[in-house]
Structure formats: structure tokens, C-alpha cells
Amino acid sequence: MEGERLASQARSSGLPAGGATGESPGVDAPLLGSSGSSALLQAEVLDLDEDEDDLEVFSKDASLMDMNSFSPMMPTSPLSMINQVKFEDEPDLKDLFITVDEPESHVTTIETFITYRIITKTSRGEFDSSEFEVRRRYQDFLWLKGKLEEAHPTLIIPPLPEKFIVKGMVERFNDDFIETRRKALQKFLNRIADHPTLTFNEDFKVFLTAQAWELSSHKKQGPGLLSRMGQTVRAVALSMRGVKSRPEEFMEMNNFIEIFSQKINLIDKISQRIYKEEREYSDEMKEYGPIHVLWSASEEDLVDSLRGVARCLDQCCKATEKRMSGLSEALLPAVHEYVLYSEMVMGVMKRRDQIQAELDSKVEALTYKKADTDLLIEEIGKLEDKVECANNALKADWERWKHNMQNDIKSAFTDMAEENIHYYEQCLATWESFLASQTDLHMEETSEDKPESH
Amino acid sequence: MEQAPRDPERQLQPAPLEPLGHPDAGLQAAVSEEAEGARDEGSGEGTMTENNFWLKKIEINVSEAEKRTGRNAMNMQETYTAYLIETRSVEHTDGQSVLTDSLWRRYSEFELLRNYLLVYYPHIVVPPLPEKRAEFVWHKLSADNMDPDFVERRRIGLENFLLRVASHPILCRDKIFYLFLTQEGNWKETVNETGFQLKADSRLKALNATFRVKNPDKRFTELKHYSDELQSVISHLLRVRARVADRLYGVYKVHGNYGRVFSEWSAIEKEMGDGLQSAGHHMDVYASSIDDILEDEEHYADQLKEYLFYAEALRAVCRKHELMQYDLEMAAQDLASKKQQCEELATGTVRTFSLKGMTTKLFGQETPEQREARIKVLEEQISEGEQQLKSKNLEGREFVKNAWADIERFKEQKNRDLKEALISYAVMQISMCKKGIQVWTNAKECFSKM
């Protein structure tokens, strides 16, 4: 079977192994969002320019936040929320449920932006209430992600959906884009909630619970812009050194993630392409059935057969639409999340390398007696601890991530297979019933014909 | 049905009809046992029953296609495809067939045969030939006449054509057709010697007639509308089908890419590796299954195309009727005008304006002798004209009667065939769905084991 245009294009243009945005000319590649500190820096710059006051925040009155009150809009039982949200770890231990919905457009003189409603339900003691409702915009999510990366540089932070999709976007905020983003944002928050360490992060709690002004003032408390900038410059210098002294297990990890990233990117493109082809097939099918109806208007004796075929074709067309929507519900977002995830992981590996490199550079300095020995030894001690912590954190998180990845991929593809089986079963049923009707009629007709011969 | 005087030398039995245009009889078998039984009976339109006298039946196959080079009329080298036509007679008693004739023909000879039949049997809906050039192609199909798939489908189409002619109660008796099957050399000369090209109506005349016929038989007018509609709707259907086929091809083939990527990915996965690898294999199977599926659909498209071209044959019969009707009306008009002239001369009254009348008035009347002479000539012409009109009328009525009989036969055939075709399409879809279910069930199993 000869290679198809898609994959051979991707191969010849050479997908980058490392963390950079995977764009090649002529191939659909979404502009990948923040990954690594430099992109984060960009987002921060944007943040500082904006005025936070126009954030609409709806926060329920504390008096209504009663354990016994029932809101007709929201499902109150934790069990019903289990069905809504796919999570990774043991279902029984889940005590934090988050939904993201109700995208709303806000227009100001400076800009237009969307906010999403975030509802959190929890039984945890450290939360002041059992239910929270806040409104957040994409920038807020970016901020949260940045804080998490800062606090846990070698943990695999879940990815955020991209800032923009360059290709095929007519309007910055069309419905499909918003819906896709909403789902991804919900996934993002739930992944954090399910993470054994991240779930207790303070910034996360603030994100979920604070009102607009509270969030603004909290944001301003973090380490300043300049210090982060300083970190970035050093990071680049150190990263090369870090790669050389990388321990074996992290070498393996790195190899894996590089290849994984390539493959998942390809799979993402293939899946998007399949969706596109199915859409075009469905569009053509819409015209196919009606022609048979048109034809039946001029054929007295073939009306049944022609209309029957038309019905089948229309049913198959509907089945295709259903298959497509199944694809866009399950497979496409799952695969795309892992495209972004692989970027995150590569960023994490880099940060680990940088931490290692810091240690190595100090050790080297000691060897060459470049500075005050005692001070160096003390610093080295601290850095050694830091490296050990970082490595252990990463190792553990890596195992967890890999395990989840396997489950998620398995589940996504199993879903896709089921959608296809269901599609073919539906089509089969409709054609078989048409055939049955025709052969019955046929047998009736031939038994009528037999006595007469012209 | 007509009973022409039987010339044993010219007799042919109508061939047993094979599933027309559908090479894979197996697919049909489960569904159309009954249909085939009905078709065999109905196909000869009673000729089968008539010819139960005859001990032999014949089978016609266009069994091979071969590329040839030769020199054409302008002495230039050309490449063409020749088709082997084998005729077998079937012993009634034991069903064994014996090869009686075998010769090679090229497409242009088929065209010649058909053109001849069109001229000599204008009241018959003459079966069409498969298309000269590939139309309604989708991206995979080559539009090249030398492409093996095209040649193969043409071979089937040509066989179908011969079977249609052989099973037509009137056409099968034609000597030129008989010679087409049996006399390789010299056949072209024989056809041309019939002078049929001269007998053919000029296209211009035919076009004229369409606009000026005052009283065509309503049934033919309706038939012409029907054939226009049929042509339009089948063309449209074939175009959309080609586009649908193209898209379907795309969907299947893109899945094939999964196979490669899964395989490469499986190299780095310990637990998931096997599942990925075998799922990838199933994706490859899925992707390659579309080739056969669409190949089958091409045969379905050919069945529809035959009736697209049949619409043209229907129109030809209608045109012939219009021509004859036009001829008749012209003759009647001519006769009426001559009668009127005669009357005017006889009575001396000029009721209608005529140049002769004017000049007569201006330059004086003619002598009684001259007038008598003219009246005599006119009376002869009128008498002749009345004879002609009578025979034209008879001809016209005969034509209408015979044509309509064949049209009824055609309608029955068309309804049967198209119904069969639609059923076979359903069978193809069912097969495709079953394959799809199997492949995806296998894939799902692999995925769930990852």
C-alpha cells in the first residue's frame, strides 16, 4: 500500500524532535502554545498590560452556600459528577469536582475576550465552603500554569489548549473553537485536581475560589518579572551542560518522549485529516440520496427501489455525522492533549537538566577553586538536595504520567473503534432491510409474471 | 411479435443472458435465483419459448483483449485494442458447449455494426455500446483508453452489447450481425456494400423536423421527455457517485497512515507495543479494502451508464418518428396545395394569393389550352401524391406500431435491469459494511489489549 500524501509530507519536512513548535509548511499544524519559560514570559508581559477589573466574577452569596441547599441547575451529588468528568485515579477518593462551562463574551474598548464559569464542589476541610463559582479568562489559566511550573519545576503540569489556532480561523472566537477550548480547560483543571501533589497547591485553590479582585491582588504577590527573566537567560546557558551529564534513566525518558512526541503529532494530524475527509464524504452523501428521489419521479415501476435506496443513503449519511461527532468528542481532543502534553514533558526534562547543570557548574567551580570553597561546598550541598528532589519528583510523576497516557490512548482508540463498528452496524441494518423489502417484492412480482409470457 | 420468414442459415438462437455487466455472479447468487429464472424467461420476450424447436443455443463471450499496432487509413502507426469474440453452440441435451467461431474485432467495428443496425432498424431501441472514452472518472481511475482497468470494463461492456443484440427477437436475425460473429475478414466491406450510410437520415433534416412537426404521436413526445429526464438524472447520479467514491477512498486510505505510525510507536512501548502493532496491521487491512470495494462499484456505474446511453437510443427512435411524421405532413401539405391550385384553375377563382395569379392579372390570362394542360399535370401529380401519402401513412402507422412494441419490451427490460442493479448495489454496501465491522472489531480487540 503506497504511502499517502499526508504522512509522507510530514516525514519529508521532518518533524522536530525537540520542544519547538511543530510547524512545517503546507501541513496543518496548530501554533503550539506556551511551553517552557520563554513563551510563559510572553504571556506574563501581556498580563501586566491588562486591566483586571473588567473580569466578571459571579460569586454566590455565602448564605446560599449551604450544605443542604439544592441548586436546580447543577447536579449536587458527587456521584453524578463522576459521570461528567473523566479522571485518572481512583474514583472513590475523589473529593474535588470541577466543571468549566458557560463561555461568555466580554467587549471592552481595548479588547474582546471570553470568560468561563468554573464551578467547584468539594468536601475538603481546607476549603471554606463546599461549592464555589467563579469566572476566569484564558489569561488566568496561563497564570495558574505558570505558578504551578514555578513551584514544581520537575512535575509534569497538564497542558493548556493553544492560544490561537492559526490555520482555518475566520473569526477569533467561533463556536467550535470556544467549545474545544472549554473542554480542554475543564480537562486541565481536573488533571490538576487529580494530581497527588498539585491538587494541594495554594495558587490552585485561589484560582478556584477567589473573586476577581482577590485574584488580581494575589497575582501581584508572586516573584517579579525581572527575576524570572533572569532565570530564563541562565537556563538557556545551562541546558546544554545538563544534557551531557544526564543519568541513564533520564536518557531513556528523553528518548522515549522524543519519539513519542513525533508519533503523537503524526497521529494528531492523521486524526484531524480523517475528520476532514469524513466531513467531505458526508457533504457529498447529502446530495446522493436526493438524486434517487428525483429519479423516482419519472419512473413508475422503480419508485419503491429508488426511494428505498435514497432512504438508505440518507441513513448512512446521518450515521457518518454521528461517527464524526464521536471522533471529535473523544479521539481528537485526547490525542491533541497528548501532543501538548509531550511538549510539557520535554520542557520538564529540560528544567531537570538545568537544575542538574547548576549543580554541575558549582562542582566544576569547586574543582578549579574559582571561588570561596566553603561557600561553594554549602551551595553544592543545597543543590545536591535540590537535584535529588527534582529527580525523584520527576521519576514518580513520569511513571504516573506514562500510566495515564496508556490508559487514555487505549480508551480513545477503543472509542474510535466502537464508533466505527456502530457506524457500520447502522449502515448494514438499513441496507439489509432495503434488500429484504426488494427481494420480497421481487419474489411476488416474478410469481405474478410467470403465467404471462409475451 | 414479428415472424420473419426463417432462413436457417441466418438463424440464431437468443443467447442465455448472463448477469449483465456484473462479473461477480457469486454476489448475485444468493439474492437473485428467482430473478434469474424470471429473466431467462422474459429475456427473449417469448423467443425462448418460440425457439424451443431449435436444438442449439449459443453463447457469446468477449473473452480477451489484446493490444495491437497497425497502420490506419492514413498509413500512420497506431495502437489499438482488439477483442476476442468466441461463439459457442450449446447442445440442448447435455449442456456441453462447442466452440464454433472465434475472431478478433476492434471497437470501431462494433461502432460500424451498431450504426448499421441503427439505419436498418429505426423502430428498434438499439442497445448502446460502452463509452468510447472514460467519463465520470474520479481521481483514481485513469481516463486513458489503454488503461487495463478501462479495457477490462470495456470488454465486459462489449460482451454485454453482443448479448443484448443476440437476445433481441428481431436484431438477432440480422445477417450482418451473424457475419460480425463469424466472418472476420471482409466483414467491413460487406457492411459498407449494403449502402447503409446512404440510407441514413441527415442530422440536419432530423433537427429541422423536431421543430416543425405539428401532430406527433403524443406517446413519442412523452417518451422523448422521459429520455431527456433519464439522461439528465443518470448523469447527475454518476457524477455524484464519482465524488462520493473519491471521498470514501480518502477516508479509507488516510487510516492506512495509522498503521505505519503505530508500528513505529510500538518500538518504544513495552506494554502497549503488541497491541499497537497488531492494531496497525488492521488499519492497513482497512485502508487497502477500499480498492476492491470501489472496483465493484465501477461495475454498478457501468450498469447505470448503459441506460444513460440507452436514453440516446430511445431519442433516436423518437426522432425517426418525428421525421416520418414531418415527411407525412409535408406531403399532405403539398398535396393540399396542389389540389387547391387545381381547383382554382378549374373554377377560375383565385382564392389564395399566388405570384402566378398576380402576373396573370397584370399580363393577361393564359389561353384555355394552356390552362387545361396545367390542370392535367396537376391532376397527375395529385394522383401520385395521394398514392404516396397513402403509403407514407401506412409506413408511419407500421412504424409506430412496431416501434411501440419494442419500446414496451425495452421498458420491461429496463425496469428489470435497473431494479437488479439497485439490489446489487445494496449487496455491495452490505458486503462493505460487514468488512468494516470485522476490521474494526479486530482493531478494537487489539486496542483493548494494550
B68: left (phi over 0), alpha (psi -120 to 50) or beta: beta
Q: How many domains does chain B have?
A: 1
Query: Are A259 and B261 in contact (CB < 8 Å)?
Result: no
Question: What are the counts of helices (DSSP H) followed by strands (DSSP E) for chain A?
Answer: 12, 3
Say if B154 falls within a structural domain: no
Strands (E), B32-175: 56-71, 77-91, 97-106
Which CATH number is A316's domain given? 1.20.1270.60
B287 falls within a domain: yes
Angle at A71 between CA A66 and CA A77, to 5 degrees: 85
Partners of B41 on chain A (C-beta within 8 Å) are: 449-450, 453
- Looking at the domain assignment, is residue A41 inside a domain? no
Pull the grid cell for residue A194. 487529580
**In the listed set A194, A222, A250, which residue is the last one of a domain according to the structure?**
A222
Question: DSSP letter at A72?
Answer: S
Q: What is the layout of strands, in order, in the sheet containing A131-137?
A: A96-107, A112-122, A131-137
Angle at B437 (CA atoms; ends B435, B439), nearest 5 degrees: 70
User: Sign (positive/negative) of CA torsion B195, B200, B203, B209?
Assistant: positive
- Tell whether A405 and A269 lie within a shared domain: yes
CB < 8 Å to B31, chain A: 435, 439
What's the confidence (pLDDT) of residue A1?
A: 42
Q: Which of A151, A262, A302 is nearest to B268 (CA)?
A: A262
In this structure, the answer to whether residues A203 and A250 fall within a common structural domain is: no
The boundaries of the domain holding residue B400 are: 201-349+371-449
Cell of B444: 478494537
Range of the domain at A110: 93-222
Q: Is the pLDDT of residue A171 over 50?
A: yes
Q: Do residue A121 and residue A189 come from a single domain? A: yes
Say whether pLDDT at B347 is over 90. no
Query: What is the DSSP code (8-state) at residue A329?
Result: I
Q: End of a domain among A166, A193, A222?
A: A222
The whole-number pLDDT of residue A260 equals 94
Within-domain flag for A322? yes
State the pLDDT confidence band at A95, using cuts at 50, 70 and 90: confident
pTM: 0.76
Answer for the pair B382, B331: CB distance below 8 angstroms, yes or no.
no
Q: Report how far residue B439's alpha carbon sits from residue A228's, in angstroms, rounded to the nearest whole number.
A: 53
> Is the alpha carbon torsion for A149, A155, A160, A164 positive or negative?
positive
**Three-state SS for A430?**
helix
pLDDT tens per residue, range A237-282: 665 665 667 788 889 999 999 999 999 999 999 999 999 999 999 9
Does residue A435 sit in the same domain as residue A319? Answer: yes
Residue A124 sits in the same domain as residue A272? no
| pLDDT above 80: residue A325 | yes
Residue A214 and residue A304 in one domain: no
> What CATH code is carried by the domain that includes residue A168?
3.30.1520.10
Considering the domain boundaries, does residue A39 fall inside one? Answer: no
Place A71 in a pLDDT band, splitting at 50, 70 and 90: very low
Kindly state the helix (H) or strand (E) to which residue A135 belongs, with its residue range.
Answer: strand A131-137
Q: Residue B437 and residue A301: Cβ atoms within 8 Å?
A: no
For residues B56 and B242, which has the higher predicted lDDT (pLDDT)? B242
Separation CA B213–CA A434 (nearest Å):
45
Is A75 among the domain residues?
Answer: no
| B295: its cell numbers | 472496483
The count of CB pairs under 8 A between chains A and B is: 184
Judge if A259 and A386 occupy the same domain.
yes
- Grid cell, residue A153, equals 519545576
pLDDT in tens, B375-420: 888 888 889 889 999 999 999 999 999 999 999 999 999 999 999 9
- Residue B234 is predicted with a pLDDT of 96
Q: Is the pLDDT of residue B50 over 80?
A: no
Q: Assess contact for B26 and B2: CB atoms under 8 A.
A: no
Q: What is the mean pLDDT of residues A445-449?
A: 59
Domain end call among A222, A244, A277: A222
What is the structure's pLDDT at A293?
96
Does residue A195 lie in a domain region? yes
For residues A333 and B20, the model is more confident at: A333
Please say if the pLDDT value at position A294 is more than 70. yes
Q: Do B426 and A439 touch (CB under 8 A)?
A: no
Contact A428 B284 (CB under 8 A): no
| A428 to B444: CB separation less than 8 angstroms, yes or no | no
Judge if A250 and A175 occupy the same domain. Answer: no
pLDDT, position A448: 58
Q: Would you tell me which residues 327-356 of chain B have a C-beta closer than 8 angstroms to some C-beta of chain A?
A: none
Identify the top-confidence range among A28-32, B141-145, B214-218, B440-444.
Answer: B440-444
Report the alpha-carbon distance of residue A376 to residue B399 in Å, rounded. Answer: 115
CB A412 within 8 A of CB B276: no
pLDDT tens-digit readout, A362-415 = 888 777 776 677 788 888 888 888 889 889 999 999 999 999 999 999 999 999
* Banded model confidence at residue B29, pLDDT cuts 50, 70, 90: very low
B245-250, Cβ contacts within 8 angstroms, sequence gap of 24 or more? B245/B138, B245/B294, B245/B297, B246/B138, B246/B139, B246/B140, B247/A277, B247/A280, B247/A281, B247/A284, B248/A281, B248/B290, B248/B293, B248/B294, B249/B138, B249/B139, B249/B140, B249/B290, B249/B294, B250/A277, B250/A280, B250/A281
Higher pLDDT, B75 or B45: B75
Q: Are residues A275 and A410 in the same domain?
A: yes
Looking at CA atoms only, how far is residue A289 from chain B in angstroms?
Answer: 9
Cell reading at B149: 482497468
Between chains, do A259 and B275 touch, taking CB under 8 Å as contact? no
Q: In this structure, which amino acid lies at residue B22?
A: H
Predicted pLDDT at B282: 96
Looking at beta carbons, which residues of chain B come within 8 Å of A284? 240, 243-244, 247
Give the range with max mean pLDDT: A48-62, A380-394, B295-309.
B295-309
* B36 domain-assigned: no
B104: β partners = B84
Helix (H) and strand (E) counts in chain B: 12, 3
> How many domains in chain A?
2
Q: CA of B169: which chain A residue's CA is closest?
A: A454
Note whether B443 and B279 are within 8 A (CB): yes
B254 within domain boundaries: yes
A245 and A163 co-located in one domain: no
**Is the CB of B120 inside 8 Å of chain A's CB atoms?**
no
Q: What is the ipTM of this complex?
A: 0.80
**Mean pLDDT score of chain B, rounded to an integer?**
81
Of A287, A406, A439, the CB nearest to B240: A287
A66 assigned to some structural domain: no
Task: Provide the pLDDT confidence category of residue B270 given band limits of 50, 70 and 90.
Answer: confident
Q: How far apart are CA A191 and CA A87, in angstroms?
A: 7
- pLDDT at residue number B3: 41
Note the pLDDT of residue A165: 62
- Asked whether residue B80 is domain-assigned, the answer is no
For A:51-110, CB contacts with B below 8 A are: none
In a domain, residue B324? The reply is yes
| Residue A207 and residue A278 share a domain | no
Residues 209-268 of A with CB under 8 A from B: 255-256, 259-260, 263, 266-267
**Rounded-to-integer distance, Cα B51 and Cα B57, Å:** 9
Tell me the CATH number at B243. Answer: 1.20.1270.60
Would B82 be classed as within a structural domain?
no
How far apart are the C-alpha atoms of B209 and A365, rounded to whole Å?
Answer: 107
Residues A105, A174, single domain; the answer is yes
SS3 label, residue A122: strand
- Cα(A360)–Cα(A352) distance, rounded to whole angstroms? 12
Residue numbers of B between 379 and 418 with CB closer than 8 Å to A: 409, 415, 418
Chain A contact present for B436, CB below 8 A: yes
% of chain B exceeding 90 in pLDDT = 45
- pLDDT of the residue at A297: 94
- Average pLDDT, stretch B85-107? 81
**Would B423 be classed as within a structural domain?**
yes
Q: How many CB atoms lie within 10 A of CB B263?
A: 19
For residue A308, pLDDT over 80 is answered with yes
Q: Which of B2, B52, B233, B254 to mutate to test the interface with A (most CBs of A within 10 A)?
A: B254
Grid cell, residue A226, equals: 525581572
Band the pLDDT of B199: cuts 50, 70, 90: confident
Residue A381 has a pLDDT of 87
